[in-house]
Amino acid sequence: MTNRIKTKSVTLLLVLMTLFVSACTSTSTGQNASPLMIAEQGSFAVGGAVIRNEGEFDPVALTAAGQTLHGDHASVFYQIPVNQRQYPLVMWHGFGQFSKTWESTPDGREGYQNIFLRKGYGVYLIDQPRRGNAGKGTQPGTYAPVPDEQKWFNVFRVGMWPDYFPNVQFPTDTASLDQYFRQMTPDIGPIDINVNVDAVDALFDRIGEGVLVTHSHSGGMGWEAGMQNPNIKAIVSYEPGSNFVFPEGEAPAPKQSSAGELSALEVPLSEFQKLTQIPIIIYYGDNIPEQPSDYPGADGWRVRLAMAQEWADTINRYGGDATVVHLPDIGIYGNTHFPFSDLNNLEIAELMSDWLKEKGLD
């Protein structure tokens, strides 16, 4: 009798555990999460230029004479949830990346696209000009398939190849790493910061007011866009890497690391001051060395973090509202260069969400 009761209890416990594990699994893949209610979704090209060839088009010979080429636009996929919040989020990938940055994570969990749709934000994902689906540019380009993924493993602070950082918020299975390496895509033609910023400027002209979310290389371009288009009501920047803008005469000396020299840019004070009119938050992850290191992958981030802090101080000295959050300083450890797709990305999204609320941007 006692044995049967014990068996039943164990069975019940197993059933409950199975249900619990199953619920967790379902949530993590998004399989059984509540449906996304999308009021509208679609895609378009925005910005760009047109090349026109001299001469008259020949419909028989089909030579290039008299023909056009439309290129240098950004490609945008957007989704607007039912009952969307005040401002949509425009998400802009970093170097070597494309819109995928914000979609499914390497291990198939939901990324920022889905997470913020669920929070009620409209989401616009950009492929910047000459990258990914916006591959049609006005300049020639070449692609050489040079193996470089172990470099990026280190630069993106997943670990020190072949070792993962012990506390890393990144899945350590082979399939996830395969997906991670495949989420890079080459430039087709030269990167042109003005072309990129102009396309994002045109996007905000088209969609109206919103919040710009940048990552890495788009961080610096994001400051330019913020100075160029007043529809950008705030900027959230994950691990901006370069092109911090200071008022003329106030740029700090270049910073040295084993990754090279990091210089700041100078812009007229009147331009710089535009960035003091909007709230800005910057996040950096973990495993950034505090002292100079011979390993350039990690060491570059030491000076970028330092530059970001000086930059925010300058913004705030001019009456702005910029915050730098070094995640380990608030007790969040193990984040890579991609906090928004790391294993703890729901927690990272909550930080951003709370900040948007605090600034009245939700």
Q: Which of residues 214-253 bind a second copy (CB under 8 A)?
A: none
Using CB under 8 A as the binding rule, whether residue 150 contacts a second copy is answered as yes
At a CB cut-off of 8 Å and minimum separation 6, what does 228 contact?
A: 197, 201
Stretch that binds a second copy, among 164-172, 185-193, 239-247, 322-330 (CB under 8 A): 185-193
Q: What is the CA radius of gyration of the chain?
A: 23
Draw the binding track, 35-74, toward a second copy (x: CB under 8 A; -: no contact).
xxxxxxxxxxx--x--xxx---x-xx-x-x-xxxxxx-x-
**Contact at 8 Å (CB) between 122 and 77?**
no
Smallest separation (angstroms) from a second copy to the CB of 244: 24
Measured from the CB atom, the residue of 66 and 360 that comes closer to a second copy is 66
Q: Which amino acid type is present at position 89?
A: L
Measured from the CB atom, the residue of 72 and 224 that comes closer to a second copy is 72
Using CB under 8 A as the binding rule, whether residue 75 contacts a second copy is answered as yes
Smallest separation (angstroms) from a second copy to the CB of 339: 19
> Among candidates 135, 128, 126, which has minimal Cα distance to 99?
126
Backbone angles phi, psi at 243, to 5 degrees: 55, 45
Measured from the CB atom, the residue of 176 and 263 that comes closer to a second copy is 176
# of chain residues touching a second copy (CB under 8 A): 83
Smallest separation (angstroms) from a second copy to the CB of 277: 31
Smallest separation (angstroms) from a second copy to the CB of 355: 26
Q: How many other β-carbons are positioned within 10 Å of the β-carbon of residue 202?
A: 17
Using CB under 8 A as the binding rule, whether residue 191 contacts a second copy is answered as no
Q: Which amino acid type is present at position 9?
A: S
Draw the binding track, 253-272, toward a second copy (x: CB under 8 A; -: no contact).
-----x--------------
Using CB under 8 A as the binding rule, whether residue 139 contacts a second copy is answered as yes
Long-range contacts of 316-322 (CB under 8 A, 24+ apart): 318/247, 318/272, 318/273, 318/276, 319/276, 320/275, 320/276, 320/277, 320/280, 321/276, 321/278, 321/279, 321/280, 321/359, 322/275, 322/279, 322/280, 322/281, 322/282
Using CB under 8 A as the binding rule, whether residue 77 contacts a second copy is answered as yes
Q: Rule CB under 8 A: which of 305-324 touch a second copy?
A: none
Smallest separation (angstroms) from a second copy to the CB of 162: 8
**Contact at 8 Å (CB) between 302 and 290?**
yes
Enumerate the β-bridge partners of residue 213.
91, 236
Which one of 160, 325, 346, 351 is in contact with a second copy (CB under 8 A)?
A: 160
Measured from the CB atom, the residue of 80 and 351 that comes closer to a second copy is 80
Angle (deg, nearest 10), helices 217-228 and 193-207: 50
Q: Rule CB under 8 A: which of 270-309 touch a second copy?
A: 294-297
Q: Rule CB under 8 A: which of 105-134 touch a second copy?
A: 108, 110, 114, 127, 131-134
Using CB under 8 A as the binding rule, whether residue 20 contacts a second copy is answered as no
Print burial letters for 44-78: b (CB count within 10 Å at least 16), e (below 16): ebbbbeeeeeeeeeeeeeeeeeeeeeebbbbbbbb
Which one of 13, 161, 256, 269 is in contact with a second copy (CB under 8 A)?
A: 161
